[in-house]
Amino acid sequence: MSAPTIEEAAAAVADPNAYADDDRIHAALAHLRRTAPVAWVEAPGYHPFWAITRHEDIMAVERANDVFTNSPRPVLMTAAEEELQAAVQIRTLIHMDDPEHRVMRAVALNWFRPRALKAMRSRIDELARIYVDKLAAAGGECDFVQEVAVNFPLYVIMSLLGVPEADFPRMLTLTQELVGSADTELARSTPPDEQMNALLDMFDYFSKLAARRREHPTDDMASTIANAVIDGEPLGDIDAVSYYALIATAGHDTTTSSISGGMRALIEHPEQRRRLTDDLELLPAATEEMIRWVTPVKAFMRTATQDTEVGGVPVAQGDSLLLSYVSGNRDDEAFDEPFRFDVGREVNKHVAFGFGVHFCLGAPLARMEISSFFNELLPRLRSIELAGEPELTATTFVGGLKHLPIKYTMV
Ligand code: HEM
Q: Whose CA is nearest to atom 14 of ligand 1?
A: 354
Q: Is the CB of 254 under 6 A from ligand 1?
A: yes
Q: Find the farthest-apart pair of alpha carbons in the chain and give their distance in angstroms, rounded.
A: 62
Q: Is the CB of 120 under 6 A from ligand 1?
A: no
1 lies in some domain? no
Q: What is the pLDDT of residue 1?
A: 45
- How far is 253 from 95, CA to CA, in rounded Å? 19
In sequence order, the 6+-apart residues with CB closer than 8 A to the CB of 2 are: none
Number of domains in the chain: 1
Distance, CA of 4 to chain centre: 27
Atom number, ligand 1, closest to the C-alpha of residue 258: 1
161 lies in some domain? yes
Q: What angle do CA 312, 317, 321 make, to 5 degrees?
A: 65
Q: What is the pLDDT of residue 27?
A: 95
Say how many Å lie between the CA of residue 360 and the centre of ligand 1: 3
Residue-range definition of the domain harbouring residue 87: 6-410
Say how many Å lie between the CA of residue 251 and the centre of ligand 1: 7
Atom number, ligand 1, closest to the C-alpha of residue 93: 40
Q: What is the pLDDT of residue 190?
A: 47
301 lies in some domain? yes
Q: Is the CB of 358 under 6 A from ligand 1?
A: yes
Residue to probe by mutation, ligand 1, list 353, 357, 374, 401, most atoms within 8 Å of CB: 353
Q: Whose CA is nearest to atom 7 of ligand 1?
A: 353
Which of 262, 246, 284, 258 has its CA nearest to residue 157?
246
- How far is 104 from 91, CA to CA, in rounded Å? 11
Q: pLDDT 10s digit of each residue in the chain, 411 long?
A: 456 678 888 889 999 999 999 999 999 999 999 999 999 999 999 999 999 999 999 999 999 999 999 999 999 999 988 887 777 767 799 999 999 999 999 999 999 998 889 988 998 999 999 999 999 999 899 999 999 999 999 989 998 999 998 998 888 888 767 665 566 665 554 456 666 788 888 889 999 999 999 999 999 999 999 999 998 999 998 899 989 989 988 888 899 999 999 999 999 999 999 999 999 999 999 999 999 999 999 999 999 999 999 999 999 999 999 999 999 999 999 999 999 999 999 999 999 999 999 999 999 999 999 999 999 999 999 999 999 999 999 999 999 999 999 999 998
CATH number, position 213: 1.10.630.10
Tell me the three state secondary structure of residue 405: strand
Q: Is the CB of 179 under 6 A from ligand 1?
A: no
- CA dist 272 → 277, 283, 339, 378 (Å): 9, 12, 14, 12
- 266-275 as b/e, with b when 16 or more CB fall inside 10 Å? bbebeebbeb
Say how many Å lie between the CA of residue 354 and the centre of ligand 1: 8
229 lies in some domain? yes
Q: Is the CB of 374 under 6 A from ligand 1?
A: no
Say how many Å lie between the CA of residue 297 and the centre of ligand 1: 8
Say how many Å lie between the CA of residue 388 and the centre of ligand 1: 31
Q: How many H-runs (helices) and E-runs (strands) does the chain carry?
A: 17, 14
In sequence order, the 6+-apart residues with CB closer than 8 A to the CB of 217 are: 223, 226, 227
- How far is 148 from 144, CA to CA, in rounded Å? 5
Arithmetic mean of pLDDT over the chain: 92
163 lies in some domain? yes
Q: Is the CB of 112 under 6 A from ligand 1?
A: no
In sequence order, the 6+-apart residues with CB closer than 8 A to the CB of 269 are: 341
Q: Whose CA is nearest to atom 3 of ligand 1?
A: 254
Say how many Å lie between the CA of residue 250 and the centre of ligand 1: 6
Q: What is the pLDDT of residue 181?
A: 56
Atom number, ligand 1, closest to the C-alpha of residue 295: 5
Q: Is the CB of 400 under 6 A from ligand 1?
A: no
